[in-house]
């Protein structure tokens, strides 16, 4: 009897595990929990008219049908234009004789949508429409989101179009499915079973991306493998492109610059060599025959060991233009990364990308983007913006953000990145007077860019919940939403995401939101407060290691970045130091010129500050550093306690997962604090102020820790 019970209870548990394992992301479509609202929605959405005249509208119908049946728990009837209360069609398919409510199609562009309430003969109705089928699909997702977040369906009058044309994920996925800096399992792209096996996950990936407006994906790692450009792999790429196409998602590949040698049997990859050009032209033709809407190439060249045009004494523009030329006849584009730095160059790493790319402004073909990471160094918890933003008026710049949390706690820390993204977008470059924000550089309004775009390094893997940490999903979500509309606030987006992902109970929503909104600053405080950066463990970047001096290259050593010594802490980038500041517009430089004028959150990026310097709080630099580290840990404690109070309000499975992860985060936050303060104390020679709990181990203990198999940076 006992055994049966056990088996039975195990069975129950298993069912529950599957119920909320995070796979459904923010597209859960569970029954509307508010009975009154459910009643209203049921009355409002009766018959649906949606002519399924293309794969995209078929997808729209499928989504609507699944969504409505789930949310309303009733069978959805299809109707005609006259008797339906929800009508879904594009501009070309306005039903004959239909009296259209006012829709400003001209304001919608190629991807926008309108959702309009109107009064029809048969009662109140809503139309979802756009100039294109993909616009309609985006509108359908918006409509479903209204219901998922318990919004009113009355008096709708929405016109929406994306701020940026190209909204891409960049996967750092290798062909062997190892994901560089991936913390959520292996790659979702199973190259071995492609092209014949179409995993349901590909379709769900497409749905999730389309629901937030992502319209392109680079399938392969920027540390590239030329093999993906061989016929065998291109056929697999085509299979993925076919799955993603109805959802408005184009595929792109990384192009290894030396591919003509590696797979083309040429003896050179010189971009000005005729056989090399011919090889790339033929390759582009082959790709476009298979995938007519192939997006183009992303290239990491002459960076961290990747091959590039400089080997042949050619410039980045020579390399990019050669590839751009190959894809231009088919409407393709090239994204050429500005993430270049070299330790042979004795120049501050901060300055190197600008030094190399700024002089090339105006030399790139019109279908080239230069893709620039948000900061000058490398996806640190907090960076000033790259000085390239605003400095290349003749070259469309695509911004690269990192969703995978390489330096932000990887997938064990809850860090909601939207506040960081917003801070980056809202930074003023002063390149064309006050108000020349990074957002305006990127959306092209500042310099009239002919093309605009943004890329997010994906945090997706084959873990059941896609992103490892359940809250990693929020960063994927926020990225897409902000790429569509950078005026949304971090709080708005969190609100939407929580309601769709966890439910609409107001206490739950407010509580999870406040955890999310506190998390970014908390992480900065317990890892790299006051503008510290790049002090993570060597190679894997897991945990603190500010003491490291022996990494393979000088510019990979934490000591290069923090410059702690007996006099103080931080990197002098003013005229008395590396003068990186000179790369910003004069008005932007102003705010960083002196220690006093520099915002404290970025202080140590620009100044070597004496340990005894009085900070705005009245504390010395040392005491302030201690304060920040301790308050970072305290914030995580508070997040943890707040989460604990949600017991019973969040499904058991995700509740436990997040609870365990927050416990890890708390432990690791204290580890960061203790290790960093003990290390910096060897320079400041000042005590940790009274009242703070003392580190439980000596510095040697922290320095002795090794993590040979920490995830993310090698096989």
Q: Is 485 in the site for ligand GCW (CB under 6 A)?
A: no
Q: Is 540 in the site for ligand GCW (CB under 6 A)?
A: no
Quick one: 668 exposed, middle or buried, by C-beta within 10 A (0-12, 13-18, 19+)? buried
Q: For residues 172 and 389, which CB has a smaller minimum distance to ligand GCW in the complex?
A: 172
Phi, psi dihedral angles at 614 (to 5 degrees): -80, 120
Q: In the complex, what is the shortest distance from the CB of residue 465 to ligand GCW, in angstroms, rounded to a whole number?
A: 23
CA distances to 578, 605, 657 from 382, rounded to whole Å, are 20, 10, 27
DSSP secondary structure, 365-420, as one string = -TTEEEEEESSSSSS-SS-PPPTTTTT-TTS-EEEEEE-S-TTTTTTTS----HHH
Q: Is 555 in the site for ligand GCW (CB under 6 A)?
A: no
Pull the structure tokens for residue 479: 């990225």
Q: In the complex, what is the shortest distance from the CB of residue 712 to ligand GCW, in angstroms, rounded to a whole number?
A: 8
Q: Is 223 in the site for ligand GCW (CB under 6 A)?
A: yes
Q: In the complex, what is the shortest distance from the CB of residue 575 to ligand GCW, in angstroms, rounded to a whole number?
A: 29
Task: Give me the active site residues, please.
Answer: 304, 378, 406
Distance between CA atoms of residues 135 and 56, nearest Å: 10
- 402-461 binders of ligand GCW (CB under 6 A): 406
Q: Is 538 in the site for ligand GCW (CB under 6 A)?
A: no
Q: Is 668 in the site for ligand GCW (CB under 6 A)?
A: no
By rule CB under 6 A, what string of x and - marks binding of each residue 230-259 to ligand GCW?
A: ------------------------------
| Contacting residue, 145, 236, 283, 300, with ligand GCW by CB under 6 A | 300
Q: What is the C-alpha end-to-end distance of the chain, expressed in Å? A: 48
Q: What sign does the CA torsion over 356, 361, 362, 366 have?
A: positive
Q: For residues 222 and 454, which CB has a smaller minimum distance to ligand GCW in the complex?
A: 222
| Contacting residue, 379, 425, 520, 611, with ligand GCW by CB under 6 A | 379
Q: In the complex, what is the shortest distance from the CB of residue 454 to ligand GCW, in angstroms, rounded to a whole number?
A: 15
Q: Is 527 in the site for ligand GCW (CB under 6 A)?
A: no
Q: Please answer whether residues 589 and 597 qualify as being in contact, where contact means their C-beta atoms are separated by less than 8 angstroms.
A: no
Distance between CA atoms of residues 465 and 40, nearest Å: 32
Q: For residues 49 and 379, which CB has a smaller minimum distance to ligand GCW in the complex?
A: 379
Closest CA relative to residue 388, chosen from 360, 357, 347: 357
How many residues of this chain interact with ligand GCW, rule: CB under 6 A?
11
Q: In the complex, what is the shortest distance from the CB of residue 184 to ligand GCW, in angstroms, rounded to a whole number?
A: 16
Q: In the complex, what is the shortest distance from the CB of residue 233 to ligand GCW, in angstroms, rounded to a whole number?
A: 19
Q: For residues 22 and 468, which CB has a smaller minimum distance to ligand GCW in the complex?
A: 468
Helices 316-327 & 274-290 angle (0-180, nearest 10): 40
| Contacting residue, 257, 280, 339, 622, with ligand GCW by CB under 6 A | 339
DSSP helix/strand/coil, 570: coil
Q: Is 180 in the site for ligand GCW (CB under 6 A)?
A: yes
Q: For residues 208 and 301, which CB has a smaller minimum distance to ligand GCW in the complex?
A: 301
Vertex 453 angle, CA 447 and 454, to 5°: 120
| Contacting residue, 125, 194, 222, 241, with ligand GCW by CB under 6 A | 222
Q: For residues 181 and 316, which CB has a smaller minimum distance to ligand GCW in the complex?
A: 181
CB-based closest residue to ligand GCW: 378
Q: Please answer whether residues 473 and 465 qualify as being in contact, where contact means their C-beta atoms are separated by less than 8 angstroms.
A: yes
Question: How many other CB atoms are found less than 10 A from the CB of residue 1?
Answer: 5
Distance between CA atoms of residues 273 and 268, nearest Å: 8
Pull the structure tokens for residue 187: 């790659």
Q: Is 316 in the site for ligand GCW (CB under 6 A)?
A: no
Q: For residues 304 and 565, which CB has a smaller minimum distance to ligand GCW in the complex?
A: 304
Question: How many other CB atoms are found less than 10 A from the CB of residue 566?
Answer: 9
| Contacting residue, 58, 262, 293, 378, with ligand GCW by CB under 6 A | 378
Q: In the complex, what is the shortest distance from the CB of residue 304 to ligand GCW, in angstroms, rounded to a whole number?
A: 6
Closest CA relative to residue 247, chosen from 205, 191, 187, 196: 205
Pull the structure tokens for residue 88: 């879904």
| Contacting residue, 172, 191, 477, 560, with ligand GCW by CB under 6 A | 172
| Contacting residue, 145, 167, 181, 627, with ligand GCW by CB under 6 A | 181
Q: Residues 6 or more apart from 25 whose CB is under 8 A from it?
A: 204, 208, 466, 473, 477, 501
Query: Which residues are at the interface with ligand GCW (CB under 6 A)?
Result: 172, 180-181, 222-223, 300, 304, 339, 378-379, 406
């Amino acid at each position: 009897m006992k055994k049966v019970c056990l088996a039975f209870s195990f069975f129950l548990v298993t069912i529950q595990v599957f119920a909320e394992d995070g796979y459904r992301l923010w597209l859960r479509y569970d029954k509307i929990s508010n009975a009154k609202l459910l009643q209203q929605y049921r009355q409002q959405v009766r018959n649906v008219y949606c002519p399924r005249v293309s794969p995209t509208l078929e997808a729209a119908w499928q989504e609507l049908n699944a969504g409505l049946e789930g949310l309303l728990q009733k069978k959805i009837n299809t109707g005609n234009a006259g008797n339906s209360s929800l009508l879904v069609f594009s501009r070309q398919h306005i039903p004959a004789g239909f009296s259209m409510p006012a829709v400003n199609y001209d304001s919608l562009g190629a991807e926008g949508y309108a959702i309009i309430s109107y009064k029809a003969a048969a009662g109140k109705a809503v139309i979802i429409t756009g100039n294109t089928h993909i616009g309609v699909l985006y509108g359908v997702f918006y409509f479903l989101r209204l219901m998922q977040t318990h919004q009113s369906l009355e008096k709708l009058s929405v016109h929406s179009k994306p701020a940026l044309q190209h909204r891409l994920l960049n996967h750092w996925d290798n062909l062997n499915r190892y994901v560089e800096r991936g913390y959520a399992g292996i790659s979702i792209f199973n190259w071995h079973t492609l092209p014949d096996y179409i995993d349901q996950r590909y379709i769900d990936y497409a749905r999730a991306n389309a629901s937030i407006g992502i319209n392109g994906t680079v399938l392969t790692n920027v540390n590239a493998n030329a093999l993906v450009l061989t016929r065998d792999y291109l056929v697999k790429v085509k299979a993925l492109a076919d799955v993603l196409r109805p959802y408005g998602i184009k595929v792109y590949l990384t192009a290894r610059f030396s591919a003509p040698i590696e797979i083309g049997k040429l003896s050179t990859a010189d971009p000005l060599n005729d056989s090399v050009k011919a090889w790339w032209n033929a390759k582009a033709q082959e790709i476009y025959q298979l995938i007519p809407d192939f997006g183009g190439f992303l290239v990491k060249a002459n960076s961290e060991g990747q091959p590039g045009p400089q080997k042949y004494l050619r410039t980045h523009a020579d390399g990019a233009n050669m590839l751009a030329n190959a894809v231009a006849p088919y409407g393709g584009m090239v994204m050429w990364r500005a993430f270049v730095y070299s330790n042979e160059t004795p120049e501050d790493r901060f300055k190197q990308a600008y030094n190399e790319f700024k002089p090339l402004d105006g030399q790139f073909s019109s279908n080239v983007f230069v893709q620039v990471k948000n900061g000058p160094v490398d996806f640190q918890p907090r960076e000033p913006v790259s000085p390239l933003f605003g400095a290349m008026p003749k070259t469309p710049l695509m911004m690269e953000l990192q969703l995978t949390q390489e330096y932000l706690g990887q997938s064990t820390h809850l860090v909601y990145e939207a506040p960081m993204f917003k801070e980056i977008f809202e930074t003023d470059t002063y390149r064309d007077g006050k108000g020349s924000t990074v957002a305006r550089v990127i959306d092209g309004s500042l310099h009239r860019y002919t093309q605009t775009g943004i890329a997010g390094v994906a945090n997706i893997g084959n873990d059941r919940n896609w992103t490892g940490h359940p809250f990693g999903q929020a960063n994927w979500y926020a990225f897409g939403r902000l790429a569509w509309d950078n005026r949304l606030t971090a709080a708005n987006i969190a609100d939407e995401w929580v309601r769709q992902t966890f439910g609409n109970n107001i206490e739950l929503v407010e509580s999870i939101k406040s955890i999310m909104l506190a998390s970014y600053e908390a992480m900065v405080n317990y890892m790299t407060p006051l503008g510290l950066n790049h002090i993570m463990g060597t190679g894997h970047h897991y945990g603190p290691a500010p003491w490291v001096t022996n990494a393979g290259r000088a510019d990979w050593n934490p000591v290069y970045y923090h410059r702690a010594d007996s006099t103080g802490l931080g990197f002098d980038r003013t005229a008395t130091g590396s003068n990186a500041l000179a790369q910003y517009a004069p008005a932007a430089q102003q705010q960083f010129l002196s220690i006093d004028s520099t915002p404290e959150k970025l202080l140590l990026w620009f100044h070597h500050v004496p340990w005894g310097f009085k900070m705005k709080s009245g504390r010395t630099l040392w005491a302030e550093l201690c304060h920040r580290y301790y308050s970072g840990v305290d914030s995580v404690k508070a997040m943890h306690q707040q989460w604990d109070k949600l017991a019973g309000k969040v499904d058991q499975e995700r509740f436990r997962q997040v609870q365990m992860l927050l416990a890890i985060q708390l432990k690791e936050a204290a580890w960061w604090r203790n290790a960093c303060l003990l290390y910096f104390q060897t320079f400041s020679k000042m005590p940790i102020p009274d009242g703070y709990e003392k580190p439980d181990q000596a510095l040697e203990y922290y320095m002795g820790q090794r993590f040979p198999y920490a995830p993310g940076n090698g096989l």
